[in-house]
Chain A
Amino acid sequence: MSSLTPNITGRAYWRSLEEYADSPQFRELLGYPGGGAIDEATLSVSRRRFLQLMGASMALAGLTLGGCRRWEETKLAPFAQRPEGRVPGQPEYFASMTERGGSALGVLVESFDGRPIKIEGNPKHPYSQGATDAWAQAETLNLYDPDRSRFPVRGRGEARQRTTWEELVAFMQQRVGERQGADSSRLAVLTRRSDSPTRARLAARFRERHPEAGWYEWEPINRDNELAGTRQAFGRAMRPAYRLDRAAVIACFDADPLLMHPAAVRHARDWAATRKQADSEMQMSRLYAAEPTFSVTGSVADERLAVRVSEVPALVRAVAARLGVIDGDGAGGGGDLNGSTQWVEKLVDDLHRHEGEAVLVVGESQPAEVHALAWAINAHLGALGATVELFEEPGDPQQGQGEQIAELARRIEAGEIDTLLVLGGNPAYDAPAELDFEAKLNQVDEVIHLGLYADETARTATWHAPAAHELEAWGDGRAWDGTVGVQQPLILPLFDGKSPIEMLALALGDEAGEAQGYELVRATFREDVLAGDDFERAWRRVLHRGLVPDSAFEPVNDASADAPANVPERLDAADGEFEVVIRPDTSMLDGRWANNGWLQELPGPITKLTWDNVARISVTDARRLGLSQGDVVRVSVGGREVELPVFPTPGQVAGSVVVSLGYGRRAAGRIGDGVGVDTYRLRTVEAPHVAAASVEPAGRRERLATTQNHHLIDPTGEWGVTKRTGERGGSGYIIKEMSLASYRQDPHQARRTANGDLPLQLYDPPYPAGTPAFEAKRPGGPVAFNEPHAWGMSVDMNACIGCNACVVACQAENNVPVVGKEEVLVSRELHWLRIDRYFKGDPEAETDVVHQPMMCVHCENAPCEQVCPVNAAIHDTEGLNLQVYNRCVGTRYCSNNCPYKVRRFNYFDYHAKDPRGHWRPWLNIPDTQTRAEVDRIKAMANNPDVTVRMRGVMEKCTYCMQRLSRAKVAAKNDWSRGQRDEPLVADGEVVTACQQACPTQAITFGDLNKADAVVSQEHENPRAYQVLNDDLNTRPRTRHLAKLRNPAV
């Protein structure tokens, strides 16, 4: 970033450091309409080659035309006996759950002709309330992953060979089930964390049978520090359920409760509720965040402090001292850190004023003492039972998971284990580095591994068994608040897999019939969960709902917390030149989704980076070390080192390097292998989150596929870009934001433009010649394209946290393919919905972030329609801006003319193609795999209600018109049978995929003809504005609601 200071563009909002600094690299990008440097390989199809290919394809056409009567004969296979209520071609929804890190999320799974294709949140779930996250949305792709393990395998390394379930089960029963007494001390089970009642029941049976055997749980993203902290504070392990909806002041100390937390979706919903009070009560919560680099929570904080993780304890101590929770003046030994004195002062002031309405949240990176101190502060503030409810941690684990895996490693080293049953998880990859767990596993005589993939751990195991996916197996679990959920299969196991509970039951010697997941779960419910009820009846009700009502934990509200005596001033990691902060990744989490293309290609909330992990460093450090984006550095921690590219990040504190986990997989599958760098190698039992490190340039570069600079407008249009993004001091037309105070004074300011209504607008009003005149169906309603509905959307930027759930939901719903890193590098990603992340301010001091979800806004005056030579971009009567795939000839004029840059072009047939990049089987064309070569399993994930697009056509957001069509037809059918008063879709009957997934309910959708529709009310909101409309008169049907900030005065 040597060129950072000169040539600053002066734009108020900027998308990247390159744009901010107006660097030469950025100038170069501007030259390409796609906005990416196009590599030679992609461009270089020579004329000669082209003619060869043309000739070949003509010959092929000739061959096929001759025999063409109609396309292939299709068979119809009706059921021999159709299940009652099953209507072919109509989707059905089943309530189920998905478990992650021991916490269950209630979901509804859409099944189409017996094939689960989409996961939605369960709106009736008392805890998650219908919200989901990107990971839950991506589960369907995992289900249909052709790389999943397909059969049991026996043997290590070279000796690996296919075996059968019968042999495996026989071996397991002999080795595990039939052991007796002291002999079983050489037996151990290693599992993931789970609160499943059935698993708990089977685990109890296992302990009873083998009291000497070891039972270890390992979850790389665990809550060891939090649990230890609550144990210090309350004398027992507690689980906090934050009630952010009751909080007026939320202070996060390196915590990310809105994304990186098992209960994040609920937190996000509750937090958003406090933001929406701005409209009803002119009130809003205030979010404080102290963190090294932008997390999702930090990116929406009102008062953010960039501070090193190892200095965070000083902040908590300062707050505690000011509040009188501990002695001292709170100034601490560290002095003022980056403006921390003022930040603490503001926070303490707010906490004083909002006792009982405030809560402190401390992140997992902080040691137990800091957690305990925060609990003492929370207790002092009257937060317990008000803004945070405490549950007793189920199972009350006496040992942290780090300690557990360390103990297992020690026992293996000592030769005390001869049989290890690994039920899920991938410890060979994600165990702490110094344990060298992969080698440890190789020392064990027999390792029996159950997993979805033949992954790193499977390679070290003597037996590997394919696991059944959550959508294929019976199971149960508990949500964060304890609500018991049932996981029901939507499809028989595709690859003959078994679930962990089935495996455990088999290991215990159950007959195959008893060890069916269905029987196991039912037994648990009969004996325990639903004991006493009329079982069959209660069971059916539970299945229908997917959960057991009123089964949440009892809150413990009489807890009292004492301030610990020994809270450190700073962490040891502060002593190094740098501190390295190791975080779960916003896409990969701990790496279990490495083979999921949707998540690999998901732009990170802050970096907008796909297909890679990076070392995020501060702009100051980057300048000092002479590094720019993509320069590889060597990060060393206590003799262990990794090399990974840097990503200078605005708003990051100097002296901190943030790396994310989950990449660098060696045996993930064809998608995930070798993507990014394995940072688990830096992670130890003692320092799993932060450690002192040194950073030095490695002298090479890597290309990073970040989408932040995509869709640039060339220099000719640059003056317009500057005008629209706003010069420093001005606000432009794209982003509108204001402080709560100024909103109170003048609520309607977002509607006014920076320079008043422009007299000259680019496009005329939307009445093409020959169109019948429309009238507004309600005062203030749309006057065009409103027959019989007028679809519209609103996006509340004040609620959006940039969590990406909508992006994956859209991809899953609309058959949006994955394109691969090479293609993302040249701006060819196909996401219909993107979240634009703008920075504002000084990248080396205070930086603000705005998230703006952007998809086709369905302009009534659509610029794309004006330039399409074949009428492929065209409106329908309800305001949808359509893209007719069969008309499209691929001129890409529409994309060029779209001011929102939301149109996506299929450069290749990405559905047929292996998405990793240059996979060129025939004549070196990237997507010419024949249909037979593409695994048919892949196609099963597609939504049959949405056309699968071929190469050469443009596509974009359709407002989920397949859902509109279904709702419209259903409404009209009901009406014609006299079951409905009008043949129109009622408000709330159509929920778009993005809207459904959104944890903060930032997106609303509906009929603008109805005054009482939620979306109409949102459009009437004084914060609602139409992006770019001031300038272009495009009349978008999607309105964005201006962002509010609530800084302390």
Chain B
Amino acid sequence: MASDKQASRFVFPRWANYLLPLLVLGAVGGGLYVPVVIGFGLSADTLWRGYAPAQPVPFSHALHAGELGMDCRYCHTTVEDASFAAIPDTQLCISCHSPEEGVAGIAKDSPLLRPVHESYETGRPVEWVKVHDQADFVYFDHSAHVNRGVSCVECHGRVDRMERVYMAENMSMAWCLDCHQQPEMHLRPLEEVTNLAWDPRDHLEAQGVETEGMTRDQAQRQIGLELKEKYNIHSRTYMMSCSTCHR
């Protein structure tokens, strides 16, 4: 009959009952899935660590800082004096890689060096891609750290082993505070700041301290506590004040 037929249009078909468990399963699964995706997918580790953008020139830190043993400060000249560890100007690259005729430039015909040579000729900068990028409300100061015995390696990892620079740490605030809470675990003598391979045990041994059976952390703590006094590293409350890093 016409009216029944019409009414049945508003009734779900029988097979639709089987959808219910699927819906429940979906809701429960989604309830788990979404937080997990957000929790892990948006964590600092996922977003940051390992970020290794391609650079206009495939500059190898492993070659320059590692194999050739160049000091970090040879290129990043302002690291001890300024908040910003300057990217070297083209002129500095050219001091070894000059394209000029009659000058002994290393790899002067390499196409990989083309952007550098172009920059040298035109005066326009080589546009490097920033790897370690702090949020705008963080005012990190390189000089404040390297002058207090915090090594490059603490934040940048073993750059001397990197073909292409990547983020070795997640650079989240929690990670910063790990160190600000326990600076002694990250301090070394000033002259070792750019020695990325430095080991606290070797240092103690050189001073004639027996390090047999000592873990790296134990040795570090021993050195760190001493240096913390020596370098006038502040109280934990000072180091943890918001104004230390934010303005």
Is there contact, CB below 8 Å, between A81 and B89?
A: yes
**Chain B positions within 8 Å of A878 at CB level:** 238, 241, 243
Q: Smallest CB-CB separation from B125: which chain A residue?
A: A77
**Chain A positions within 8 Å of B114 at CB level:** none
Is A75's beta carbon under 8 Å from chain B? yes
Distance between Cα atoms of A262 and B141 in the complex (Å): 42
Q: Interface readout for B190-216 with A: 1 if CB under 8 Å, 0 if not? A: 100000000000000000000000000
Residue in contact with A79 in the complex, picked from B125, B129, B244, CB distance below 8 Å: B125
Known: A79-B89, A80-B124, A880-B243. A983 touches B232 (CB 8 A): yes
Is there contact, CB below 8 Å, between A877 and B238?
A: yes
User: How far in angstroms is the closest Cβ of chain B from A557?
Assistant: 51
Q: Interface readout for A48-81 with B: 1 if CB under 8 Å, 0 if not? A: 0000000000000000000011110111111111
**Chain B positions within 8 Å of A772 at CB level:** 235, 237
Residue in contact with A877 in the complex, picked from B51, B82, B235, B247, CB distance below 8 Å: B235
Is there contact, CB below 8 Å, between A80 and B136?
A: no
Distance between Cα atoms of A787 and B241 in the complex (Å): 11
Is A1032's beta carbon under 8 Å from chain B? no
Contact segment of A689-697, A733-741, A745-753, A940-948: A940-948
Find residues 209-247 in chain B having any chain A CB closer than 8 Å to their own CB: 231-232, 234-235, 237-238, 241-244, 246-247
Is there contact, CB below 8 Å, between A74 and B232?
A: no
Is B166's beta carbon under 8 Å from chain A? no
Residue in contact with B143 in the complex, picked from A876, A945, A973, CB distance below 8 Å: A973
Distance between Cα atoms of A179 and B89 in the complex (Å): 51
Is there contact, CB below 8 Å, between B242 and A876?
A: yes
Find residues 108-127 in chain B having any chain A CB closer than 8 Å to their own CB: 119-120, 122-127
User: How far in angstroms is the closest Cβ of chain A from B160?
Assistant: 20
Is A977's beta carbon under 8 Å from chain B? yes
Known: A876-B243, A976-B148. A74 touches B130 (CB 8 A): yes
Is there contact, CB below 8 Å, between B120 and A80?
A: yes
Known: A76-B128, A80-B124, A972-B148. A787 touches B247 (CB 8 A): no
Distance between Cα atoms of A69 and B41 in the complex (Å): 9
**Chain B positions within 8 Å of A71 at CB level:** 133
Known: A82-B91, A877-B238. A973 touches B81 (CB 8 A): yes
Of A68, A88, A874, A948, chain B has the most CB atoms within 10 Å of the CB of A88
Find residues 878-902 in chain A having any chain B CB closer than 8 Å to their own CB: 878, 880, 882, 884-886
Q: Smallest CB-CB separation from B87: which chain A residue?
A: A78
Of B81, B84, B128, B247, chain A has the most CB atoms within 10 Å of the CB of B247
Q: Smallest CB-CB separation from B90: which chain A residue?
A: A80
Q: Interface readout for B57-78 with A: 1 if CB under 8 Å, 0 if not? A: 0000000000000000000001
Is A965's beta carbon under 8 Å from chain B? yes
Is there contact, CB below 8 Å, between B91 and A972?
A: no
**Chain B positions within 8 Å of A69 at CB level:** 47
User: How far in angstroms is the closest Cβ of chain A from B47?
Assistant: 6
Is there contact, CB below 8 Å, between B242 and A884?
A: yes
Known: A74-B130, A78-B126, A947-B137. A876 touches B244 (CB 8 A): yes
Q: Smallest CB-CB separation from B141: which chain A residue?
A: A969
Known: A787-B235, A788-B234. A947 touches B243 (CB 8 A): no
**Chain A positions within 8 Å of B128 at CB level:** 75-78
Is there contact, CB below 8 Å, between A82 and B89?
A: yes
Is A763's beta carbon under 8 Å from chain B? no
Distance between Cα atoms of A891 and B137 in the complex (Å): 21
**Chain A positions within 8 Å of B88 at CB level:** 78
**Chain A positions within 8 Å of B127 at CB level:** 75-77
Is A87's beta carbon under 8 Å from chain B? yes
Residue in contact with A80 in the complex, picked from B53, B86, B123, B242, CB distance below 8 Å: B123
**Chain A positions within 8 Å of B51 at CB level:** 70
Find residues 134-178 in chain A having any chain B CB closer than 8 Å to their own CB: none
Distance between Cα atoms of A69 and B133 in the complex (Å): 13
Q: Smallest CB-CB separation from A950: which chain B residue?
A: B137
Distance between Cα atoms of A364 and B81 in the complex (Å): 53
Is A348's beta carbon under 8 Å from chain B? no
Distance between Cα atoms of A876 and B51 in the complex (Å): 34
Find residues 846-878 in chain A having any chain B CB closer than 8 Å to their own CB: 874, 876-878
Known: A78-B87, A80-B120, A948-B136. A884 touches B190 (CB 8 A): no
**Chain A positions within 8 Å of B78 at CB level:** 87-90
Is there contact, CB below 8 Å, between B243 and A79?
A: no
Interface class of chain A by DSSP: loop
Distance between Cα atoms of A87 and B231 in the complex (Å): 25
Find residues 950-966 in chain A having any chain B CB closer than 8 Å to their own CB: 958, 961-962, 965
Is there contact, CB below 8 Å, between A972 and B144?
A: yes
Known: A80-B125, A884-B246. A88 touches B234 (CB 8 A): no
Known: A70-B48, A880-B243. A80 touches B89 (CB 8 A): yes
Distance between Cα atoms of A707 and B178 in the complex (Å): 46
Is there contact, CB below 8 Å, between B119 and A80?
A: yes
Residue in contact with A76 in the complex, picked from B47, B91, B123, B129, CB distance below 8 Å: B129
Distance between Cα atoms of A739 and B169 in the complex (Å): 64
Of B80, B120, B137, B235, chain A has the most CB atoms within 10 Å of the CB of B137
Is there contact, CB below 8 Å, between B84 and A88?
A: yes
**Chain A positions within 8 Å of B86 at CB level:** 78, 82, 87-89
Residue in contact with B89 in the complex, picked from A78, A877, A961, CB distance below 8 Å: A78
Find residues 126-156 in chain B having any chain A CB closer than 8 Å to their own CB: 126-130, 133, 136-137, 139, 141, 143-144, 147-148
Distance between Cα atoms of A969 and B231 in the complex (Å): 13
User: How far in angstroms is the closest Cβ of chain B from A769?
Assistant: 13
Is B83's beta carbon under 8 Å from chain A? yes
Known: A78-B88, A787-B237, A947-B137. A70 touches B47 (CB 8 A): yes
Q: Smallest CB-CB separation from A969: which chain B residue?
A: B144
Is there contact, CB below 8 Å, between A946 and B247?
A: yes
Distance between Cα atoms of A71 and B136 in the complex (Å): 11
User: How far in angstroms is the closest Cβ of chain B from A554?
Assistant: 46
Q: Smallest CB-CB separation from A880: which chain B residue?
A: B243
Is there contact, CB below 8 Å, between A958 and B244?
A: no
User: How far in angstroms is the closest Cβ of chain A from B84?
Assistant: 3
User: How far in angstroms is the closest Cβ of chain A from B159?
Assistant: 16
**Chain A positions within 8 Å of B144 at CB level:** 969, 972-973
Distance between Cα atoms of A969 and B136 in the complex (Å): 19
Find residues 969-997 in chain A having any chain B CB closer than 8 Å to their own CB: 969, 972-973, 975-977, 983
User: How far in angstroms is the closest Cβ of chain A from B135?
Assistant: 8
Is A771's beta carbon under 8 Å from chain B? yes
User: How far in angstroms is the closest Cβ of chain A from B52?
Assistant: 12
Distance between Cα atoms of A976 and B144 in the complex (Å): 10
Is there contact, CB below 8 Å, between B90 and A78?
A: yes
Is there contact, CB below 8 Å, between A886 and B119?
A: no
Q: Smallest CB-CB separation from A886: which chain B residue?
A: B137
Known: A78-B90, A947-B137. A73 touches B119 (CB 8 A): no
Residue in contact with B247 in the complex, picked from A80, A962, A976, CB distance below 8 Å: A962
User: How far in angstroms is the closest Cβ of chain A from B61?
Assistant: 15
**Chain B positions within 8 Å of A977 at CB level:** 147
User: How far in angstroms is the closest Cβ of chain A from B164?
Assistant: 15
Known: A75-B130, A78-B87. A965 touches B119 (CB 8 A): no
Residue in contact with B83 in the complex, picked from A877, A880, A961, A969, CB distance below 8 Å: A969
Q: Interface readout for A632-665 with B: 1 if CB under 8 Å, 0 if not? A: 0000000000000000000000000000000000
Report, nearest first, the 10 A-B pairs whose CB atoms are least far apart: A89-B84, A876-B241, A77-B125, A74-B130, A82-B89, A78-B87, A80-B90, A876-B243, A947-B137, A79-B89
A80-B89, A80-B126, A885-B246 are known; give 17 further A-B pairs, CB within 8 A. Answer: A70-B51, A76-B127, A76-B129, A77-B125, A78-B126, A81-B89, A88-B86, A90-B83, A876-B244, A878-B238, A882-B241, A885-B137, A962-B139, A969-B144, A972-B144, A973-B147, A976-B231
8 A-B pairs within 8 Å (CB atoms) are namely: A70-B133, A73-B129, A78-B126, A79-B125, A89-B82, A972-B147, A975-B232, A976-B231
User: Using a CB–CB distance below 8 Å, which chain A residues touch chain B?
Assistant: 68-71, 73-82, 87-90, 771-772, 787-788, 874, 876-878, 880, 882, 884-886, 945-948, 958, 961-962, 965, 969, 972-973, 975-977, 983
